[in-house]
Amino acid sequence: MTDLTELIAAFTARYGEPPANVVRAPGRVNLIGEHIDYNGLSVLPMAIQRRVTLLFRPRTDPIVRIANTQKEFSTRSFALSAEIEPYPEGDWGNYLKAAAQALAQQFGALSGFDAVMTSDIPVASGLSSSSALTVAAAMPLVEVNRLDTDRTMLAELLARAERYVGTEGGGMDQAVCLGASEGAALRVDFEPLRMSAAPIPNGIAIVVASSLVRAEKSGAARDMYNRRTRECREALEAVLGNVKKRKGIDSYPTLLAKFDAAELVELGDTVLGDDLRRRFRHVVSEAARVTRMETALAAGDVAEVGRILNESHASLRDDYAVSTSELDELTELAVAGGASGARLTGAGLGGCIVAACPPKGAEALIESLTEGFYQPRSATKDLDQHLFVARPSGGTSVEPL
């Protein structure tokens, strides 16, 4: 159910009164800068036209009630406090509680709200449906309680908040969900968080295709994710121990500011064991690709954009070990189908790829992926859920109804 009139009717039928506001919180695709946000390194995601739509009405007590029109997610209701008991692991309501608890800890006693929501962001597909949910649940509390905050502060707070579900996530998803602007990707820098628009030129189309394998942020993918964050920290420690003139160098950003990528890869190769050496090489080379991608986008150079995507995929597959055979197959099919390049996007181990092509090639690319990937798997029903041209979209909005 995405039609606003229907959603308003559902709200009024459930709560006996019409909703006051609508929140729209987008999903995202990451163009470049994968698995480096939690190392404090800059990334370049883009908000997409798929989003969570949430209608709400303030309450005067500390209760939050959220009904979801998606059948697999039943209604959740809880009291706001600085210590909210989580639902069982994997429950969708934990993203709501994550936002609520973080805001209650930061701002004290809060009034709640009644809501009805829906989402057309495919779940567990690497398009950040869960961060969109977290942001969508936070906005009514900000509005109802007139909290003194801004987008940057909120993005930082909600990035930490999501650790409530047990993932040691970085801050990319919440930042782009809140800070994106239409027609542009978003460069996100960390420590402290900063956001700036990076326009996507008309000559570049972005196609998203799902591998049809779910990557549950609260399931198996979480263990891999948390392991990688640990490996990155260990690799950093070992490299720092071997850096001469260490003064002021204590993080990935300060390391990269002092040495170029090739020097660091060489250093990593000398001081790290096999796995850590490869993880470190991914981090360092991916950071360099973010800078290259900005230049390529600014120049509207679709061929270079494609090369960068291909290199990133190879690095995520071979060094970071977060690809799957389906994601590899999809990226190969995309390139064979006319994309200038493609790579897995999001945390990996399932989810989607992102491909770049000239706009006039998008239709042929989609046809080619349909024939090569989805038809053989009898997965052409609701194909636009899995395969679509992503439009660079604006960040979260809150409007009166």
Q: Which residues bind ligand GLA (CB under 6 A)?
A: 30, 34-35, 37-38, 169-170, 172-173, 346-347
Closer residue to ligand GLA (CB): 204 or 316: 316
Q: Smallest gap, in angstroms, from Cβ of residue 28 to ligand GLA?
A: 9
Instruction: Give CA–CA dist 162/174, Å, rounded.
Output: 9
Q: Which of 173, 189, 274, 384 is catalytic?
A: 173
Helices (H), 89-163: 93-107, 129-144, 151-161
Return the H-helix or E-strand segment holding 79. Answer: strand 76-79
For the question of residue 173 being annotated catalytic, the response is yes
Closer residue to ligand GLA (CB): 29 or 116: 29
Question: Do residues 307 and 313 make contact, with C-beta atoms less than 8 angstroms apart?
Answer: no
Measure Cα distances from 74 to 11, 67, 117, 172, 215 in Å: 15, 7, 11, 28, 21
Closer residue to ligand GLA (CB): 154 or 172: 172
Return the H-helix or E-strand segment holding 243. Answer: none
Q: Per the omega criterion (within 30 degrees of 0), is the bond before 62 cis?
A: no
Closer residue to ligand GLA (CB): 35 or 386: 35
Cross-strand partners of 44: 32
Please state the length of the chain: 401
Instruction: Give CA–CA dist 317/313, Å, rounded.
Output: 6
Report, as residue numbers or ranges, the catalytic residues.
173
